[in-house]
Structure 1
Amino acid sequence: MANAFRSEAGAIVTQMTITEKLDLVCGNGLWRTTGVPRLGLPSLLMVDGSNGLRVVPDQISTDPQNADLGAFLDAVDTTDDPESRDSNVLLGKSVPATCFPALSVLANSWDIELAHEIGEALAIECRAAGAQILLGPGINLRRSPLAGRGFEYFSEDPILTGDMAAGVIRGLQDKGVGASLKHFACNNSEVERISMDSVVEPRALHELYFLGFERAIARSNPWTIMTSYNRLNGIQTSQNPWLLRGVLRGRWHYDGVIMSDWHGIQDLPAAVKAGNDLDMPFNAARRRRLESAVLNKKVPEAALDQACTHIAALTLRIMDAQRRLPVSRPDFATHHDLARKAAARACVLLSNQNNVLPLTPEPGKRLLVIGTGAVLPEIQGAGSAAVRPIRCDIPLDCLRITAPDGISLHWEPGWGEDGNHDAHRQGAALAAARTAETVIVFASTPPCISGENADRPDLGLCPAHDRLITELTKIHDRIVVVLTHPDAVVLPWANNVQAILSAGYAGAGLGQAVADILFGHTNPSGKTSVTWPVRPEDCPAFLGYPGEQGTHLYREGIFVGYRFFDIRHIQPLFPFGHGLSYTSFTYAALELTTGADDVTVRFTLSNTGARTGWEVCQLYLGRTPTAPNRALPHHPLRALKGFATVCLEPGESRVVDMTLSRRNLAYFDTVRDDWAVPAGEVSIEIGASSRDIRLSAPLHVTGDATAARWLDPHTPPGQALEVPGVQDDLVAWLAGVTGQGIAGTETLLASCRRSFLGIYDTLCWSFGLELDEIRLTQILDDANRRSGARKPGHCPDHSSELDPS
């Protein structure tokens, strides 16, 4: 946050009473801050939704009654009702707004500028609703496709996640609306989400689960960050000083507001001391406990002042931005066109055997559309992210409008409105398929089985949908399946249909986007943002999901998503970064130019087909596996480090430049408790997916010096004697103690090197004496100081602010 706002905010806080400070850090009703009107700080209104606004008018007043449990549960209800379903609404009380693709779908575009456009449109609608903060985007990694909120998150990869999130955030804040980057951190399941302990090793935390947040913060400076419900390695995230003051404030120098998820704080005094600034929503009991702790000096007033300063600075910043950045009233027709464009760019053509797509039926031919989803499409997920769309494209209507003249287009529901098997409807669909040139099936996962507070029970589509598709494959050889789903799904019939188009939760523009792709008016360009497994057992998190006895072990460590599939040599159903096009691209002339702190990667991309198309060029860093008999850090065989989304006309070529920073070459060294670059040979790879590498070149990396290992009496002597100075100190000490002389001591000490026992036990055994362990420890401590070694478990203070506790 700009120093000008921080300084002015600090001056305002000095004028506040204790009561005003306590009010400022506690919410006002469900969706507002309290503000301090007498000092020029108005209340701020927050609204839900990363893919569109969810504003429920009767919940945004400041009446404390609207902060009760019932109102809160209404806000996150994942259930549906017939009236809402009939109008494609998951939360019928909300004010109508544009429903853009879910973030999981938007990520399939790999287009940061498109994300920025959507962020701007969201900001315009926010400001029309009187809101100053949008509670999104969510960027937890899609670690398991079972996670109920997976559709709210971008990807299994932190680079794609962080960059796309930064695009949305910049779009919002460029129009004067604050973003709230969430949920920090490791909110990867909805099972027991307020109490589950996510247990994650340090490398996985920093290299995966933190990296998306770190990257988004560095590239967009979100004005607020929301903590998650879960515990992280034993401590509630909103009450974790290491996480908030050490990592977020210290390592990353974040200076915005840290707020809780709704009712996510269990101990408000501990949260304020840890660095959580704002408790949402208002809760009288929590406020009373904080007041008592402040008055009894259990929470330093300095900690309360820090929280108030952050909130006041945010308020001043938003006031300034909305004065400087006037916006017009929302043009909902234009926003709907943007929703269509985003859906079309983000739908992924997963398979296209014999180029069955695009459809080019001749006049008089008959097309059959099957599925209730063609008339009642699932365009979004349930819960706090649900939007009441101001307008929604119905796929069947759009197909009829878009189909060429003279084409007969017939629809059969295929199954019941609830997605379950209906023998009569299945029979009618199969009968109609026998006379159709092409069959288009709209298949989906069961409605309302996942969302906020509800993980998916399995990875299947509705059983009736799988059953009908399987029966169709026995009688027809031109079957196109359009999928709506929250995350990756298993498709037992995948090899037996001719084309599969993944739409996911593509928002209100789904219908026209799908029609345009199927009939070739739009060239599909989406690429998968997660790996699709053949079966659930192939998923990296399978053995540890969703935890037990309140503990969720992230057993796969750094091997999340495609990293796991690669290291285990598992063939996915569809790899990360995969997506087909109606044109073709070639990659050529890879060049690497090494600078002082980075590597420039250059290659030529050419459109060798007959259609204009977008291609997502993916830059990976490849490494050779660590030898199994050496205790060295393991690395993924391949890790995404950057990408470029390029549009080319037929026959056009373009030179594409990307840059690898030294940080891109690093891993998180747990000995240093910091990033380090390992020395050696790596491979720079350019791919059309993680399993379709088109170009590669070796790169020799000059690494950082190996971090010194901490020495103690239990360290094996072979390791201890490699540290400069240790042998000389030991020889001088042991020669004096034993009387064997320098030469004899050196000879005996050399024989100790191969011992796997600790150095103290080895020396006592070898020299036949019970040696002074205190003196040995002093020698080893001297070596630790000289080498800068860090004791295991010691975390240095990275805090940029004095811890007021």
Structure 2
Amino acid sequence: MEYIEEQRSEGTDPSASPFESVDTNTTPDTEYSLPGSPISKPSPPNDCRSVARQKLAQLTLEEKVSLLTAADFWRTKSIPSKGVPAIKTSDGPNGARGGIFVGGTKAAQFPCGVSLAATWNKRLLYAVGQHLADETKARSANVLLAPTVCMHRHPLGGRNFESFSEDPLLTGKLASKYIQGLQSKRVAATIKHFVANEQETHRLTIDSLLMERPLRELYLRPFEIAIREANPWAVMSSYNLINGTHADMNSHTLKDILRGEWGYDGTVMSDWGGVNSTVESIKAGCDIEFPFSSKWRFEKALKAVEEGRLTMGDINAAVENVLTLVERTKSGDMSIEEAEREDNREETRALIREVGAEGITLLKNRGQVLPLDPNTTRVAVIGPNSNRAIAGGGGSASLNPYYNTIPLDSIRAVAQREVVYAQGCHIHKWLPVASPFCTDKSGEPGVTLEWYSGDRFQGDVAVTQTRTNTDLFLWDSAPLAQLGPEWSAVATTYLRSRATGKHTISFMSVGPGRLYIDGELALDLWDWTEEGEAMFDGSIDYMVEVEMQAGKPIELRVEMTNELRPISKQKAFNMTHKYGGCRIGFKEEDQVDYLQQAVDAARAADVAIVIVGLDAEWESEGYDRKTMDLPSDGSQDRLIEAVVEANPRTVVVNQSGSPVSMPWVDKVPTILQAWYQGQEAGNALADVLFGRQNPSGKLPTTFPRRLEDTPAYHNWPGENLRVLYGEGLYIGYRHYDRSKIAPLFPFGHGLSYTTFEYGRPSLSRKVLTESAPIHLVMAVTNTGAVAGSETVQIYIRDDKSRLPRPEKELVAFEKVFLEPDETKHITVSLDKYAVGYYDDSVPAWIAEEGTFKVLVAASATDIRRSIAFEVRESFTWTF
């Protein structure tokens, strides 16, 4: 699911849920279920498309067109009289959130996409998919809006953490297993975002300009692999344009390639607010528009049929695809949608911990500082991320986890000696939410929300709610059924500080907003004009200092409406009302020297563990990062430099979803890349630090030394709403190979607490043909003292090609677990997909006559073995 930016419409926002909906966490009886119908949950038929066609034949034109737009924010339209139930979608890639964006039903939070990819473990990805299916069902949903398979084109991409890798083969193979696991339990996967959606800057309007070869070989390739191997039941079109045409109406990608060459038989849905036409999007193959909107379809689609601009064939094809998705996930089940529930299972918790530990990547371990001995090592835990839960990035991937594990707590739970803690520095982009310090009118933790119909606070309170979070962006959870399209609300909470001092309160507003402190107007943002950097529309973060006494509450009251701000947008977008909401942050006054505390703690310890990185504010959907440097203002770099000077036995743990600059890399002996590990982040990290788990993660993305070394440096993020993919085929390790630039840490790199030896590979035969693959067999031996896993990476180099090709390309990988001194043989299949490239002059994929070298590697720069085979006669194919 994605955020909706401004669209032209009349009056109120057409993308909000229809007024007959109750809210986004329940389903109206009459709209979605036949009242009094028996509860029946039939098994899916063998041929869902045949059943879809039968139901299609019973529908009127108006009923057909009604199915081409969602019924509310998350659900499809039902037609109970014709046996068509609604199905519910849910974000997202690292957990099934359910119907409320912030503070909704608690859910299992898995490691982020890049961390899943760092495991290089296909078996685990399948298991993750299965558990996500159970979580999706617990949210009473049928479709998970995942996985995200966009490429890591540039290290500043805001959603890199949510995506898998810079390599299309690794991405496609892991996504396939994830999808197979999901759909094995009859939950639809929605692979996204189709296609060339590698940045958040101007994401609704940016035009991605790229040649056909990189489109095919890089950006379409993960989708192609997943559709061939896993057949995801849904594909989500992206927001951006592709070579001048929006993705939802791009006939080349949707019609010619996806439906035509690949023969895809699933359903294409728009990204949320990502439909840009009536006729063109339906004809191109965008079957269903999300969320509910009256902007492009309904009457306009009926009129297009009447005028002959859309044919009945166009309508029927789209509706049949929608009905097929319904049949695949829910069949004729007309039972009332159950309320969302928690399903906090021990086996899911254990899997998340296992997957988290496998994704952690040991980048450097000079002097074998790790693993730590829990019985003898005095540890100092230092850093801004060490005593808080950094579980995931921001945006559609966010959710309300069942629980969090914090590194400091988890380390203390294992260590037998005293563990000293020092924060070291702050890295706030915005002040932390005030929620931990707040109680509502009843005295319980949270905020009281009192809603009024209309935007003037008039009449009686129509709805009263309690929210647990002071992040009150209300874009998907306003009770519009009771309020109507225009509303006003008063949020009240009581804030208690733990210490006496001059503390800081922050306030940002989506629509008009005023913050009162103990009845006095503190911040008036009723007519704000300066927009902030956040996923949702909103003002910048304004701050006010307040003298507070420890434990003595102050009243915070916010008045807000959903009138559109800045006011200039009302005329520009022909819209008066859209979303409303606010965010209240709070930070107590600093009363200590954090850096000196960190130095003192490091000196007193045997080993200093410095936990730094980014968080969901710095790395999120909705915007790209501005720099590869650790935030903020060099504070974390200064902290690391000071700690390693005080204690040379320093371990730096970086939590981020993409590469960061490491100016201290040569001084620090040990570095762990810990990604975002979900609800078991602290425990997974402690398992690796103390040797309970041997790290086996490998980088799915290159860590460059400098931003200037990166492939898209000269073409990021574009200009005048166009971005040229000028690096062509050469992203990631392909670029570093071609340019002969040494990265900081190469693609595929990752150390272990043991060592591995690669045996000499052999091939089942020396000639590859179109119909018969070659099998590579080789031995891997654990030559160290502890058990561990190694990922063997297989690259192919084309010795001579008519068109330019990368120096090498990943074509296969296998992960193998070995006890000390154990040897196992692995077998890897090499087929036509391992040697082909796309030639748009044919146009087709081609395996050219010639010699190919197999490179057996531990990383993109650590080639251990090689062997050659040949293709004696060129051949071509399309899918």
Common topology (TM > 0.5): yes
Q: Aligned partners of 2:333 and 2:407: how far apart in 1?
A: 38
| Deviation for aligned residue 1:417 | 6.3
Could you tell me whether the CA contact under 8 Å between 1:415 and 1:422 is conserved in 2?
no
Q: Aligned partners of 1:56 and 1:282: how far apart in 2?
A: 14
Could you tell me whether the CA contact under 8 Å between 1:419 and 1:447 is conserved in 2?
no
* 1:303 alignment partner, one of 303, 310, 314: 314
Q: Summarize the Cα distance change of 1:676–1:128 in structure 2 as closer, same or farther, 3 Å threshold.
A: same
Could you tell me whether the CA contact under 8 Å between 2:791 and 2:813 is conserved in 1?
yes
* 2:789 alignment partner, one of 614, 628, 649: 614
Q: Aligned partners of 2:325 and 2:690: how far apart in 1?
A: 48
Q: Aligned partners of 1:201 and 1:422: how far apart in 2?
A: 57
Q: Which runs of 5+ in 1 are unaligned?
A: 58-74, 76-90, 627-631, 708-795, 800-805
Q: Summarize the Cα distance change of 1:11–1:500 in structure 2 as closer, same or farther, 3 Å threshold.
A: same
| Deviation for aligned residue 1:433 | 1.6
| Deviation for aligned residue 1:419 | 7.6
Q: Summarize the Cα distance change of 1:10–1:422 in structure 2 as closer, same or farther, 3 Å threshold.
A: farther
Partner of 1:360: 373
Q: Aligned partners of 1:231 and 1:295: how far apart in 2?
A: 29
Higher deviation after alignment, 636-645 or 457-466: 457-466
| Deviation for aligned residue 1:663 | 2.5
Partner of 2:362: 349
> What is the letter of the counterpart of residue 290 of structure 1?
A
Deviation string for 1:631-672 (max 9, x for gaps)?
Answer: x41111110001001111111111110011022111101110
SS in 1 for 2:356: helix
Higher deviation after alignment, 509-518 or 419-428: 419-428
Q: Aligned partners of 1:329 and 1:260: how far apart in 2?
A: 29
Q: Aligned partners of 1:451 and 1:37: how far apart in 2?
A: 39
Q: Aligned partners of 2:619 and 2:342: how far apart in 1?
A: 34
Q: Aligned partners of 2:82 and 2:616: how far apart in 1?
A: 49
Q: Aligned partners of 1:412 and 1:322: how far apart in 2?
A: 55
> What is the letter of the counterpart of residue 573 of structure 1?
L
Partner of 2:839: 669
Partner of 1:550: 721
Could you tell me whether the CA contact under 8 Å between 1:414 and 1:422 is conserved in 2?
no
Partner of 1:379: 391
| Deviation for aligned residue 1:679 | 2.1
Is 2:410 the counterpart of 1:398? yes
> What is the letter of the counterpart of residue 499 of structure 1?
T
Could you tell me whether the CA contact under 8 Å between 1:35 and 1:42 is conserved in 2?
yes
> What is the letter of the counterpart of residue 599 of structure 1?
I
Q: Aligned partners of 2:64 and 2:114: how far apart in 1?
A: 39
Q: Aligned partners of 1:599 and 1:306: how far apart in 2?
A: 41
| Deviation for aligned residue 1:349 | 0.5
> What is the letter of the counterpart of residue 113 of structure 2?
L
* 1:235 alignment partner, one of 211, 230, 245: 245
Could you tell me whether the CA contact under 8 Å between 2:393 and 2:615 is conserved in 1?
no
Q: Aligned partners of 1:574 and 1:168: how far apart in 2?
A: 27
SS in 1 for 2:295: helix
Q: Aligned partners of 1:170 and 1:20: how far apart in 2?
A: 32
* 1:491 alignment partner, one of 648, 652, 662: 662
Q: Aligned partners of 1:376 and 1:329: how far apart in 2?
A: 23
| Deviation for aligned residue 1:678 | 1.9
| Deviation for aligned residue 1:701 | 2.4
| Deviation for aligned residue 1:470 | 1.4
Q: How does 1:409-424 map to 2 (within 5 A)?
A: 409-416=419-426, 418=428, 424=593
Q: Aligned partners of 1:423 and 1:702: how far apart in 2?
A: 72
Q: Summarize the Cα distance change of 1:436–1:696 in structure 2 as closer, same or farther, 3 Å threshold.
A: same
Q: Summarize the Cα distance change of 1:453–1:692 in structure 2 as closer, same or farther, 3 Å threshold.
A: same
Deviation string for 1:386-435 (max 9, x for gaps)?
Answer: 011101111111101111x3x12100010136289998100111122222
| Deviation for aligned residue 1:703 | 4.1
Could you tell me whether the CA contact under 8 Å between 2:176 and 2:229 is conserved in 1?
yes
Partner of 1:148: 158
| Deviation for aligned residue 1:372 | 2.8
SS in 2 for 1:589: coil
| Deviation for aligned residue 1:526 | 0.4
Q: Aligned partners of 2:775 and 2:322: how far apart in 1?
A: 41
Task: Point out the structure with max Rg over C-alpha.
Answer: 1
Q: Summarize the Cα distance change of 1:423–1:474 in structure 2 as closer, same or farther, 3 Å threshold.
A: farther
Is 2:674 the counterpart of 1:503? yes
Could you tell me whether the CA contact under 8 Å between 1:162 and 1:213 is conserved in 2?
yes
Partner of 1:716: none
Q: Which runs of 5+ in 2 are unaligned?
A: 1-43, 335-340, 431-589
Could you tell me whether the CA contact under 8 Å between 1:419 and 1:465 is conserved in 2?
no
Partner of 1:654: 824
Is 2:381 the counterpart of 1:206? no
Normalized per residue, the structure richer in helix is: 1
Deviation string for 1:255-294 (max 9, x for gaps)?
Answer: 0001100010110221001111111111112223222212
| Deviation for aligned residue 1:154 | 0.5
Could you tell me whether the CA contact under 8 Å between 2:780 and 2:823 is conserved in 1?
yes
Could you tell me whether the CA contact under 8 Å between 1:195 and 1:550 is conserved in 2?
yes
Could you tell me whether the CA contact under 8 Å between 2:405 and 2:680 is conserved in 1?
yes
Could you tell me whether the CA contact under 8 Å between 2:192 and 2:238 is conserved in 1?
yes
| Deviation for aligned residue 1:113 | 1.2
Partner of 1:30: 73
SS in 1 for 2:761: strand
Partner of 1:638: 808
Is 2:47 the counterpart of 1:4? yes
Q: Aligned partners of 1:573 and 1:31: how far apart in 2?
A: 43
Could you tell me whether the CA contact under 8 Å between 2:150 and 2:198 is conserved in 1?
yes
Q: Aligned partners of 1:622 and 1:678: how far apart in 2?
A: 12
Report % sequence identity: 36
Q: Aligned partners of 1:305 and 1:681: how far apart in 2?
A: 49
Partner of 1:802: none
Q: Aligned partners of 2:107 and 2:706: how far apart in 1?
A: 37
> What is the letter of the counterpart of residue 401 of structure 1?
A
Partner of 2:286: 276
Could you tell me whether the CA contact under 8 Å between 2:798 and 2:835 is conserved in 1?
no
Q: How does 1:329-344 map to 2 (within 5 A)?
A: 330-344=343-357
RMSD: 2.3
* 1:623 alignment partner, one of 798, 816, 819: 798
| Deviation for aligned residue 1:505 | 1.0
Is 2:617 the counterpart of 1:440? no
Could you tell me whether the CA contact under 8 Å between 2:270 and 2:289 is conserved in 1?
yes
> What is the letter of the counterpart of residue 690 of structure 1?
A
> What is the letter of the counterpart of residue 807 of structure 2?
L
Could you tell me whether the CA contact under 8 Å between 2:703 and 2:746 is conserved in 1?
yes
Deviation string for 1:70-120 (max 9, x for gaps)?
Answer: xxxxx5xxxxxxxxxxxxxxx3x2211010000111000011111111111
Partner of 2:18: none
Q: Aligned partners of 1:457 and 1:321: how far apart in 2?
A: 49
Q: Summarize the Cα distance change of 1:232–1:208 in structure 2 as closer, same or farther, 3 Å threshold.
A: same
Q: Aligned partners of 1:282 and 1:408: how far apart in 2?
A: 56
Q: Aligned partners of 1:170 and 1:662: how far apart in 2?
A: 23
Could you tell me whether the CA contact under 8 Å between 2:389 and 2:404 is conserved in 1?
no
TM (normalized to structure 2)? 0.73
* 2:595 alignment partner, one of 426, 430, 436: 426
SS in 2 for 1:372: coil
SS in 2 for 1:255: coil
Partner of 1:262: 272
Partner of 2:488: none
Partner of 1:85: none
Partner of 1:172: 182
Could you tell me whether the CA contact under 8 Å between 1:393 and 1:508 is conserved in 2?
yes
| Deviation for aligned residue 1:682 | 1.9
Deviation string for 1:675-696 (max 9, x for gaps)?
Answer: 0112222210111111111110
Indicate the structure whose relative CO is greater, using CA pairs within 8 Å and at least 6 residues apart.
Answer: 2
SS in 2 for 1:11: helix
Could you tell me whether the CA contact under 8 Å between 2:85 and 2:332 is conserved in 1?
no
Q: Aligned partners of 1:422 and 1:471: how far apart in 2?
A: 20
Higher deviation after alignment, 539-548 or 615-624: 615-624
> What is the letter of the counterpart of residue 610 of structure 1?
A
